[in-house]
């Protein structure tokens, strides 16, 4: 056996002590095939017995006996010593003097504190669900990864068996170190879950947050010279509180900016119960439409701004049918996201080698969600804006009121506006955008940009503004372009001037009383 821990270490004896038994029988059989002696704690050994797999009980090594109702069994020198002992001549000599044999692999996972806490069990039940021995075994084995292999998740079983098969029953240092790092992370997360779960009361904003890295590969950050990684934001009970599941169906790995664009696009289509498409570029919408079919919605959405859509991300809230790919002919789409891609549509989509296809189901907006941003070394957590516009908040402030079709268009434009960057102006005809101006330092500039994109389509359109108009200049630009109705929060010191300007242009104007900034 190597004493410098740089060569592969032969696995002769393994301790198995798990709560989750997924894949355990297959793993144990694989260890036996490589001549590994199995030692198991009571519950784990029972599972192995049920599958006809021989294993010694932990009580058979070094006189270990369970005590205090089973609370103390692995916290014994005869168990911890053979795990922690250095495989140096002095360490091996001491093990022999005590009559202990080295343990070369530890497979362990923890009591389900998270599951019990999620069921809101009483304090006694939750305390009993706190694992002490399992965490200690994992931490001890991880600390001694120079000689010991720690397997702290069933998902790691196959990789370990592959390593044993390729090395004649040994594990190499890179694998042991990687598994040790994973074990330390799981121990830290488990301790954090307990600390938060036992808090005397649940607060709206958890005192501690967990970040768990996903398996989503990130090519780079906003620019190729910036590294990036994808994490889920977790609640105290380890449930994702902001993550929407996605899967790459086709194309290169998603980039940092791909995910940011998809975030905006998917949030938008989640707003609408009817077939809807959102075209996004640089994290802001440049075309949104609803229609009788998803293909009709895409047709209208990509027509909003033929220039800005170049290299865009598109999200839809219905499966992609076979008649949609021809609609995108001649449109450079980087990423297309949908709940599903019909089989008949795939041959046409496969012809576009650079197109990324992402399966993602728009989130349920009735479920509270959170978003996280960083600034100046701080992490900022806020509720996602999911507030609905109530009928009583649709307050007319001009003598002219909107027609029913204009009222529907105003509601549509308002829903789109809260997903564009401030300052934001959205022009819409029916259930389609015709011009969007966003990310501008002045509101009048945002109006000018939206009107420029819309061109002649601005006449008869409606306008949504994410915040109040500080001056009448924006109203004048919209009025000169033929905008028929406006919805905005109101609340400016010059509201009287703004309303008077709308009256001059014979526009209908509505105040909501609340803003929808998105910085």
Return the CATH number at 447.
Answer: 3.40.140.20
Round to whole Å and give the CA distance between 482 and 115: 59
Read off the pLDDT of residues 291-302 as tens digits, 9 standing for 90 and up. 999 999 999 999
**Do 185 and 142 share a structural domain?**
yes
- Phi (first) and psi of residue 301, to 5 degrees: -65, -40
Q: What is the pLDDT of residues 315-334, one digit of tens each?
A: 999 999 999 999 999 999 99
pLDDT score for 466: 95
Supply the residues annotated as catalytic: 143, 282
Is residue 467, in this structure, part of any structural domain at all? Answer: yes
- Residue 237 confidence (pLDDT): 47
Whether the CB-CB separation of 210 and 192 falls below 8 Å is answered with yes
H-helix or E-strand containing 110?
none
Most confident range (mean pLDDT) of 4-8, 60-64, 429-433 is 429-433
pLDDT at 201: 43
Euclidean distance between CA atoms 128 and 110, whole angstroms: 12
More confident residue, 174 or 211: 174
Task: Answer whether 139's CB lies under 8 Å from 179's CB.
Answer: no
Nearest to 19 by CA among 38, 47, 49: 47
Residue in this structure with the two tokens 């970040």, named with its chain if needed: 211
State whether the Cα torsion 410-413-419-420 is positive or negative. negative
Query: Which one of 134, 167, 197 terminates a domain?
Result: 197
- Cα–Cα dist 139/496, whole Å: 68
Identify the domain containing residue 404 by its residue range. 393-511
Please check the confidence at residue 243 and state whether its pLDDT lies above 60: no
Mean pLDDT confidence for 410-437: 96
The answer to whether residues 178 and 263 belong to one domain is no
Residue 17's pLDDT is what?
Answer: 93
Residue 400 and residue 356 share a domain: no
pLDDT, greater one: 287 or 235: 287
- Indicate if 177 and 90 belong to the same structural domain: yes
Predicted confidence (pLDDT) at residue 202 exceeds the cutoff of 60: no
Mean pLDDT of the chain: 88
- Residue 385: band (very low, low, confident or very high) from pLDDT cuts 50, 70, 90: confident
Q: Please say which residue of 360, 385, 416 terminates a domain.
A: 360
Residue 189 pLDDT level (bands cut at 50, 70, 90)? confident
**Helices 443-454, 473-480: crossing angle, 10 deg rounding:** 10
For residue 372, the tally of other CB atoms under 10 A from its CB is: 14
For 109-122, what is each residue's pLDDT tens digit?
988 876 776 666 67
Q: In this model, does residue 415 exceed pLDDT 90?
A: yes
Q: Residue 211 domain-assigned?
A: no
Mean pLDDT of 254-264: 90
**In-domain check, residue 283:** yes
Residue 378 lies in a domain: no
Please say if the pLDDT value at position 208 is more than 60: no
In terms of domains, do 16 and 158 share one? yes
110-157 pLDDT per residue, tens: 888 767 766 666 777 778 878 888 999 999 999 999 999 999 999 999
Token readout for 17 is 């002590």
Percent of the chain with pLDDT over 70: 88
Burial string for 256-288 (b: 16+ CB within 10 Å, else e) reads bbbbebbbbbbbbbbbbeebbbbbbbbbbbbbb
Is 80 exceeded by the pLDDT of residue 364? no
- For tokens 């709560």, name the residue: 19
DSSP one-letter string for 450-503: HHHHHGGGGTT-EEEESS--SSTHHHHHHHHTT--EEEE----TTHHHHHHHHH
3-state secondary structure (DSSP) of residue 37: strand
Residue 7 tokens, joined: 């060569």
The domain that holds 111 is classified in CATH as 3.40.50.1380
Distance from C-alpha of 227 to C-alpha of 222, rounded to nearest angstrom: 9
Same structural domain, 301 and 426: no
Please compute Rg for the chain using Cα positions: 30
490 pLDDT more than 60: yes
Residues 29 and 176 in one domain: yes
Look at residue 446 in the predicted model and tell me its pLDDT.
97
Specify the pLDDT at position 361: 83
Q: What is the pLDDT of residue 1?
A: 39
Residue with tokens 């044999």: 101
Asked if 356 and 397 sit in the same domain, the reply is no
pLDDT single digits (tens) 39-64: 998 889 999 999 999 999 887 775 66
Let me know whether 316 and 455 are in one domain.
no
Output the pTM of the full model: 0.68
Which residue, of 310, 341, 360, is where some domain finishes? 360
List the structure tokens of 370. Answer: 């959170």
Burial (CB count <10 Å: 0-12, 13-18, 19+), residue 303: middle
Strands 210-213 and 231-234: antiparallel
Beta bridge partners of 210: 234
- Count of structural domains, the chain: 3
Mean pLDDT of 442-461: 97
Domain membership of residue 237 (yes or no) is: no
Query: Which of 2-11, 251-260, 505-514 shows the highest mean pLDDT?
Result: 505-514
18 and 91 inside one domain:
yes
Q: What pLDDT does 44 receive?
A: 93
Question: Is residue 81 domain-shared with residue 180, that is, in the same domain?
Answer: yes
249 vs 254: CA distance, rounded Å: 11
Asked whether the predicted pLDDT for residue 215 surpasses 70, the reply is: no
- Of 115, 414, 143, the residue nearest 288 (C-alpha): 414
Whole-angstrom Cα distance, residue 112 to residue 202? 19
pLDDT attached to residue 192 = 76
Task: Tell me the C-alpha distance between 62 and 54, whole Å.
Answer: 19
At residue 289's C-alpha, the angle toward residues 280 and 481, to 5°, is 90
pLDDT at 473 over 60: yes
């Amino acid at each position: 056996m190597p004493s410098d821990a740089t060569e592969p270490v032969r696995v002769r004896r393994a301790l198995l002590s798990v709560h989750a038994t997924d894949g355990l029988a297959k793993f144990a059989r694989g260890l036996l095939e490589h001549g590994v002696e199995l030692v198991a704690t009571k519950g784990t050994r029972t599972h192995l017995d049920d599958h006809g797999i021989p294993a010694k009980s932990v009580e058979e090594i070094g006189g270990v006996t369970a005590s205090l109702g089973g609370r103390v069994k692995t916290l014994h020198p005869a168990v911890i010593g053979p795990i922690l002992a250095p495989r140096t001549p002095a360490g091996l000599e001491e093990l022999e003097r005590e009559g202990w044999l080295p343990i070369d692999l530890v497979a362990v996972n923890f009591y389900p504190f998270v599951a019990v806490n999620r069921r809101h069990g009483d304090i006694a039940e939750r305390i009993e669900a706190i694992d002490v021995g399992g965490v200690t075994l994992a931490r001890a084995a991880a600390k001694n990864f120079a000689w010991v292999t720690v397997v702290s998740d069933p998902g790691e079983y196959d990789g370990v068996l592959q390593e044993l098969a390729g090395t004649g029953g040994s594990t190499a240092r890179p694998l042991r170190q990687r598994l040790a790092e994973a074990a330390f992370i799981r121990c830290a997360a488990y301790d954090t879950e307990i600390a938060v779960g036992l808090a005397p009361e649940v607060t709206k904003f958890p005192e501690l947050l967990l970040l768990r890295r996903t398996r989503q590969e990130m090519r780079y950050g906003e620019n190729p010279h910036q590294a990036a990684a994808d994490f889920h934001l977790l609640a105290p009970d380890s449930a994702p509180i902001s993550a929407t599941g996605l899967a790459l169906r086709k194309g290169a790995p998603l980039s940092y900016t791909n995910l940011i664009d998809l975030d905006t696009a998917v949030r938008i289509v989640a707003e609408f119960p009817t077939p809807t498409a959102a075209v996004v570029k640089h994290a802001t919408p440049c075309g949104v439409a609803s229609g009788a079919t998803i293909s009709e919605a895409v047709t209208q959405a990509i027509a909003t701004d033929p220039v800005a859509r170049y290299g865009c991300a598109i999200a839809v809230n219905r499966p992609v049918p076979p008649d949609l790919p021809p609609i995108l002919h001649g449109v450079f789409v980087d990423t297309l996201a949908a709940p599903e891609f019909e089989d008949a549509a795939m041959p046409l989509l496969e012809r576009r080698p650079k197109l990324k296809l992402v399966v993602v189901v728009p989130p349920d907006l009735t479920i509270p969600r959170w978003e996280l941003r960083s600034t100046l070394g701080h992490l900022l957590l806020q509720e996602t804006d999911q507030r609905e516009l109530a009928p009583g908040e649709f307050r007319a402030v001009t003598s002219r009121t909107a027609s029913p079709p204009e009222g529907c268009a105003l509601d549509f434009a308002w829903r789109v506006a809260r997903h564009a960057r401030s300052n934001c102006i959205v022009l819409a005809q029916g259930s389609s955008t015709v011009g969007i101006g966003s990310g501008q330092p002045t509101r009048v500039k945002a109006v000018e940009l939206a009107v420029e994109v819309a061109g002649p389509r601005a006449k008869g359109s409606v306008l949504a503004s994410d915040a109040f108009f500080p001056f009448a200049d924006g109203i004048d630009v919209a009025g000169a372009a033929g905008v028929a109705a406006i919805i905005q929060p109101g609340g400016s010191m010059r509201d009287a001037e703004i309303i008077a300007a709308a009256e001059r242009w014979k526009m209908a104007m509505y105040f909501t009383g609340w803003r929808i900034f998105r910085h």
